[in-house]
Amino acid sequence: MQSERELIERIARLTAVREGVTLGLGDDAAVVAGDPLSVVTQDLLVDGVHFRRGTSSLADIGHKAVAVNLSDLAAMGAVPVAVFIGLGLPVDDPLGADDIDALYAGMESLAAIHGVTIAGGDVTRAPALILAVTAIGHMPAGIAPCRRSTARPGDVVCVTGTLGGAAAGLLLLDQPNLATNIAEADALRDASRRPTPRLQAGQRLAAGEATAMMDCSDGLALDALRLADASQVGMEIDLEAVPLAPGVIAVARAAGRAADLLAATGGDDYELIVTVPAALVDDLAARIDVPLTSVGRVVDGSGLTLLRNGVAVDAPTLGWEHRFD
């Protein structure tokens, strides 16, 4: 069995970056040469793996399919332009005309907010509902893509927004009885089903001398480790500093989980993890449209250390990662 990372590394060894592409496999998105630079990403969403039709509406699914791709562009600091939708329609549980309308309404509503065009794609039969979305953007003039391989010892590790909302929302979707007396239950479920890509924040962070960035899709801890490995540095995360979404503590308590670990390892938040020179943290925080919270530091060495009040914590898992037989 191999992990998603091992599979990507294997594919990278079998392929080459050629003229016209300035950044290939291994980051949130690829970069294609030109003026301006083009930034391209693709995500594949499969029923039963990335969403469940039993707990998400088709409009929710359409929204999420576009949002997760726009989040990858946000992590590079790119301005989104277009998305292309590869749609696999299930044979055994077919979608009717109203279902297709709802699915694409969810996509179009988010695309319209960000000035993005649904510009094409393909349709085929499939064993389950599958959406393969390709998103294309461009870099603003004079701004280089913000990569995950350029963090430096001494940088501060920051996150946008709050964490844990999506993981808590998924617990509520899976275990509705946990929602009793939790006022934020609806907002948490929405956080799981309808993530918000941090496009303006990503663009302003990339323009404001952030050293490295990636989106937080699989969990702060796992994605921070990936960023550290790509930059060949170590990273320390202070769990007590992680900004928790409202209601996460209540859900974690009801589920018998530690709220800080749920937020750090749960995933699906689609916030941005960014490394910043210490002297610039306050300036960058003032430039973006969402809170920017310092949660740790980049250090010499390798790997990730989770700390709770200065003491190392062993987490059962660092986040979500596909495994392949």
Give the pair of three-digit tokens for residue 252.
């974690």
Look at residue 11 in the predicted model and tell me its pLDDT.
Answer: 77
Closest C-alpha to 304, from 208, 219, 218, 234:
234
Name residues of the chain where pLDDT drops below 50: 324
Look at residue 288 in the predicted model and tell me its pLDDT.
Answer: 95
Look at residue 197 in the predicted model and tell me its pLDDT.
Answer: 97
Look at residue 145 in the predicted model and tell me its pLDDT.
Answer: 96
Q: How far apart are CA 295 and CA 166, in angstroms?
A: 19
pTM of the predicted protein model: 0.93
Strands 38-46 and 130-138: antiparallel
The count of other CB atoms within 10 Å of the CB of residue 21 is: 14
Dihedral Cα 110, 112, 113, 116, nearest 10 deg: 90
**For residues 272 and 159, is the Cβ–Cβ distance under 8 A?**
yes
Look at residue 16 in the predicted model and tell me its pLDDT.
Answer: 83
Look at residue 317 in the predicted model and tell me its pLDDT.
Answer: 79
Look at residue 2 in the predicted model and tell me its pLDDT.
Answer: 67
Look at residue 323 in the predicted model and tell me its pLDDT.
Answer: 56
Look at residue 25 in the predicted model and tell me its pLDDT.
Answer: 82
Structural domains of the chain sorted by starting position, each given as residue range(s) with its CATH number in brackets: 2-138 (3.30.1330.10), 156-324 (3.90.650.10)
